[in-house]
Amino acid sequence: DGGITQSPKYLFRKEGQNVTLSCEQNLNHDAMYWYRQDPGQGLRLIYYSQIVNDFQKGDIAEGYSVSREKKESFPLTVTSAQKNPTAFYLCASSPGTLWAQHFGDGTRLSIL
């Protein structure tokens, strides 16, 4: 079954803690993306990667970090520097940036 898998579905973070959201794809796509979705805000781009071992900041990268060591994996770390991390996080991939994106089911992050 091809597609994008995000885990976990729900995640809770304590104050001052870093947490990592997983995103894996088996579509052999080169490009991967992380978005943050808040009510009334649409999708805001956090980071994107067009190729393995390369990634670029999006519009709201502060307080987040990523890595792209493998083509199929693009984990997102929400660091303690992110002051308002409570949100729904979406991962996406596409063959290239000009192509339509395929999305995961998302991870909902909450602060304890």
Partner 1 sequence: AQRVTQPEKLLSVFKGAPVELKCNYSYSGSPELFWYVQYSRQRLQLLLRHISRESIKGFTADLNKGETSFHLKKPFAQEEDSAMYYCALSVPGGSYIPTFGRGTSLIVHP
Contact residues: partner 1, CB under 8 A: 33, 35, 40-45, 48, 50, 56, 58, 90, 92, 96-98, 100-106
Query: CA–CA separation, 52 vs 69, rounded Å?
Result: 6
| In the complex, least distance from residue 63 CB atom to partner 1, rounded to whole angstroms | 20
Query: CA–CA separation, 72 vs 70, rounded Å?
Result: 5
Tokens 């993306």 locate to 33
| In the complex, least distance from residue 100 CB atom to partner 1, rounded to whole angstroms | 4
Nearer to partner 1, 13 or 72 (CB): 72
| In the complex, least distance from residue 30 CB atom to partner 1, rounded to whole angstroms | 12
Query: CA–CA separation, 99 vs 109, rounded Å?
Result: 28
